[in-house]
Amino acid sequence: MVKMMENLTPVRPGFGGFDEPYERANVVFIGVPLDITSSYRSGYRFGPARIREASANLETYLTSAGVDVFERLNISDLGDLIITPTDLMASGKRISQVVKKVHGDGKMPVLLGGEHTLTYFALETFKNVFVIHLDAHRDLRDEYLGDRLCHATVIRRVLDRLPPKRLLQIGIRSCSKEEAEFARKAKIATYTSEQVIDDAPRIVAAAKELVGKSRVYLTIDLDVLDPAFAPGVATPEPGGPSTVELLRLVQELGKLNIWAFDVVELVPPHDDGTTAFAAAKIIYELLAAVASSPR
């Protein structure tokens, strides 16, 4: 924002209003306006655009890390992928291909959602990662309303390819009895939303211990936040952490060996802007942590 004012040039559509050429980038934004499998609220297709808009109206210098993310990182924004509105698998294939290309070019993909199902397709590229999943929900159903692959089953499908010991779920406060039993049997490392609120440093320490130097894919469902702080999500779940409690957590998780991340489930028709700004701030904090950690 500051740079725009100083230069008197219009904000460009890229994340933060900036857009480095792809060739020079080490971080690449990919908008994924996936809006196909919602069981309740929809309107995810407007999500990436609203996060970009919010990002252009936040400072890019992060007081927490003492860095300007655009000075430390070259960030390119590919814009939004074309989604085939009636064909999840065709859209998914496009997501997988783009993430694979960006990763193959040695850059960090950052996906703006869009519904959570995109994580399954993005993860196709990352075979040996540790997945850290911030969400109010486990998303571990084997099927939901007849669908094997949708926002409510996405992490279960991820576990079709990933050993459960490579998954850490944080912020959980809602699941079915079957999901609870599955998580217990599979021994999935879990921290509840109350634990995030009460003792985030313990979660950070445990995550560092568990993950070590493994490559990390971080997926953040915005409904991990309490609906008071993030009303514009598809399935609000009361009882979550505040924005500042979550930011403190992501400032630390961002110091892990992050290879890619996504921020998903923004539904702008139900948002007053609060959720989009929280999403943009979460991303800036993560980028600041990435920029200031040796890797």
- Least Å distance between CB 99 and Mn ion? 21
Q: Could you tell me which stretch among 102-110, 185-193, 218-226, 248-256 binds Mn ion (CB under 5 A)?
A: 218-226
- Least Å distance between CB 180 and Mn ion? 15
Nearby residues of 241 by Cβ (< 8 Å), 6 or more positions away: 171, 193, 196, 197, 224, 225, 226, 249
- Least Å distance between CB 136 and Mn ion? 5
Whose Cβ is closer to Mn ion: residue 240's or residue 254's? 240
Burial of 201 (0-12, 13-18, 19+ CB in 10 A): exposed
CA max distance for the chain: 58
Q: Residue 220 region, left (φ>0) first, then alpha (ψ -120 to 50), else beta? A: beta
Q: Could you tell me which stretch among 31-39, 48-56, 105-113, 216-224 binds Mn ion (CB under 5 A)?
A: 216-224
Beta strands in 120-184 (DSSP E): 130-134, 167-172
Whose Cβ is closer to Mn ion: residue 113's or residue 254's? 113
Whose Cβ is closer to Mn ion: residue 9's or residue 39's? 39
Whose Cβ is closer to Mn ion: residue 77's or residue 135's? 135
Answer yes or no whether residue 245 interacts with Mn ion by CB under 5 A.
no
Answer yes or no whether residue 223 interacts with Mn ion by CB under 5 A.
yes
- Least Å distance between CB 122 and Mn ion? 16
Q: Could you tell me which stretch among 71-79, 141-149, 196-204, 223-231 binds Mn ion (CB under 5 A)?
A: 223-231
For residue 91, the cross-strand partners are: none
User: CA of 205: how far to CAs of 133, 166, 247, 251, in Å?
Assistant: 16, 16, 16, 13
Tokens of 158: 């991820």
CB nearest Mn ion: which residue? 137
Tell me which residues in 119-178 interact with Mn ion (CB under 5 A). 135-137
What angle separates helix 243-253 from helix 274-292, to the nearest 10 degrees?
A: 20
- Least Å distance between CB 285 and Mn ion? 20
- Least Å distance between CB 37 and Mn ion? 13
Rounded distance, CA 295 to CA 279, Å? 24
> Looking at 221, 245, 271, 285, which residue binds Mn ion (CB under 5 A)?
221
Tokens of 259: 């290879």
Binding residues vs Mn ion (CB under 5 A) = 135-137, 221, 223
